[in-house]
Amino acid sequence: MSSFIALPKGIKEETFAKAIREYRSLLGENRVRTDAAALQQYLANTVAPSAAPNRPSAVLYPSNESDVQGVVRIANRYKTPLWTYYGGENRGYGSAAPATDGQIVLDLRGMKKVLEVDRELGYCLVEPGVTYDELQRYLAKNRIDLWLDTPAPAAGVSIAGNILERGTGYTPYSESFLFSCGMEVVLGDGSLIRTGMGGIPRTTSWQVFKWGFGPYVDGLFSQGNSGVVTKVGAWLMPPPPPGGYKPFCIRFPSTDMVQHIVKPLMFLRETQIVPNACALVNAGWEAATVAQGKKKGFVNGGKGTLATRKVMDGYGVGAWNLYGAVYGSPEQVELNWKYVYGTFTKAFGNKIKIITEKEAKGDPAFQYRAQLMKGGVTSNDPLDSWRPGGGSMRFQPTAAARPGEIAQQVKLATEIVNRHGFDYLSELVFFWRDARHVIDLRFNRADAGEARRAHQCYDELTRSFTKRGWGINRTNPAFMGQVADSYGPALRRFNRTVKKALDPNNIVAPGKSGITLA
């Protein structure tokens, strides 16, 4: 019987034991763990397993980029794969569990330096373990008046991890990867590169000019597995002047109004009258947010029987609830708000309810969204009390922001999710020309039958949306291969070719995004 919980595929126990001794020689005894107690947290996730969960064989805790280089070189000698974990960014998408059994978790949360914050140009350079909460505290301590752009919830989420997973927030800087600038990366062979302007000695523009010279390579490390990112730059938003931020909510009384919301909203988004990523939240998700704010909790039956009208009446929410904001000088805000108000009242008349801070009167859902739209750090997920058992699988297809397409996605998702016995909980977030359709499938992980149905439901969602040309832009490890296949064999060959060139021994996170040499 093995003395280890798991072993990497094809690696004998004596070989693995020798590798562990070398890792300990490099990092120290306490920063290399193979015991069950230490590894348990890397097994814990909210996703419904199709089989037994993939077990890590060990966990390593590097403290700087030199440690990471040393770890990668040892991994190459012994062919021990490393599953990179930045911290918190994969809630609902697999957490820290590796894609295949026996991978070593490379936990980067101990690399916590805020290396630079530039007040003048509004950027930061951070190590991968720095969370949004930690950076916000750093800004407050040093009296630096810059806004973050945060996902929800964000307190324990790695900034680097969210950028690399192409996570998003709700401010005008909402596309986290788009607003990143410059990376330091340890490649699969242990060599180190700096992207963009980072390779220029004594550069002053690493975090201000993204492109550098020659091919732009940062994208290879976004949802990729050819290297380990050890530093990342990000742009931060200067706050508008006093009176220059006006959040709003528009509540719509009927679920079938969704397609009619899109056209006026996209006019405002494309003209940048409303410059932030706007969230269109359905009744269940909104009611859970209200309940959390009032500290009541919201536990639904989980039988696909979400009674929208009952929820609307009980919690004072709309069938759809649109959140956006206008930003700028007070004069700009006043003018742009007239356009927002006029656009929606012209389209819907008195059928809708328009809420600003004046009308919100302490509404917890409004306060929660108003914080997010100015980069506030939140710590709790409103849907955590929806069902007992802690199961959450986030399904995230992209839609072109066209009225008919959005309506078709909502109709299809509702039908599939309800038929499998679950509630349709969704947030459509509108960016430049697209909408990310986030569907949170909540279920009881402790109930084996319910967990199995959740997995089957997610599988049907994936197949049905792909069949209709709606690509999934983020998923959990159990579905990464299936989603990668949906983008066609040419792209899979390209990704494999890049992987082979940069990580020939298949060391860094094999299976991530369906990319592996095995």
CA angle centred on 429, ends 196 and 454, rounded to 5°: 105
Indicate if 242-472 has the same CATH topology as 114-235: no
**Residue 330 has what pLDDT?**
97
- Number of residues in the chain: 518
Residue pLDDT tens, the chain, 518 long: 688 999 999 999 999 999 999 999 999 999 999 999 999 999 878 888 766 678 999 999 999 999 999 999 999 999 999 999 999 888 888 888 899 999 999 999 999 999 999 999 999 999 999 999 999 999 999 999 999 999 999 999 999 999 999 999 999 999 999 999 999 999 999 999 999 999 999 999 999 999 999 999 999 999 999 999 999 999 999 999 999 999 999 999 999 999 999 999 999 999 999 999 999 999 999 999 998 887 766 656 555 556 677 888 888 999 999 999 999 999 999 999 999 999 999 999 999 999 999 999 889 999 999 999 999 999 989 999 888 889 999 999 999 999 999 999 999 999 999 999 999 999 999 999 999 999 999 999 999 999 999 999 999 999 999 999 999 999 999 999 999 999 999 999 999 999 999 999 999 999 999 999 99
**Residue 189 has what pLDDT?**
95
Q: DSSP H helical segments within 29-94, as ranges?
A: 36-39, 65-78
Residue 466 exposed, middle or buried by CB count within 10 Å (0-12, 13-18, 19+): middle
**Residue 191 has what pLDDT?**
97
Q: Is there a contact between 184 and 198 (Cβ–Cβ < 8 Å)? A: yes
**Residue 385 has what pLDDT?**
85
In DSSP terms, which residues pair with 426 in a beta bridge?
439
**Residue 51 has what pLDDT?**
61
DSSP 29: G
| Local structure of 258: helix, strand or coil | helix
Instruction: Give the phi and the psi of residue 290 in degrees, each rounded to 5.
Output: -60, -45
CATH 3.40.50.12780 for the 114-235 domain, yes or no? no
> Distance between CA 430 and CA 278 in Å, rounded?
5
**Residue 53 has what pLDDT?**
72
**Residue 297 has what pLDDT?**
64
**Residue 24 has what pLDDT?**
98
In terms of DSSP bridges, do strands 104-107 and 114-118 run parallel, antiparallel, or are they unpaired? Answer: unpaired
**Residue 299 has what pLDDT?**
56
The CATH superfamily holding the domain 242-472 is: FAD-linked oxidases, C-terminal domain (3.40.462.10)
Find tokens 């607003």 and name the residue: 179
Q: Which of 460, 479, 463 is nearest to 421 (CA)?
A: 460
Q: Which amino acid is at 490?
A: A
> Distance between CA 203 and CA 365 in Å, rounded?
44
User: What is the token pair recorded at 200?
Assistant: 């220029």
**Residue 307 has what pLDDT?**
64
**Residue 314 has what pLDDT?**
85
Q: pTM higher than 0.75, yes or no? A: yes
May I ask the CATH architecture of the domain 13-109?
2-Layer Sandwich (3.30)
Name the residue ranges covered by the structural domains of the chain.
13-109, 114-235, 242-472
**Residue 369 has what pLDDT?**
97
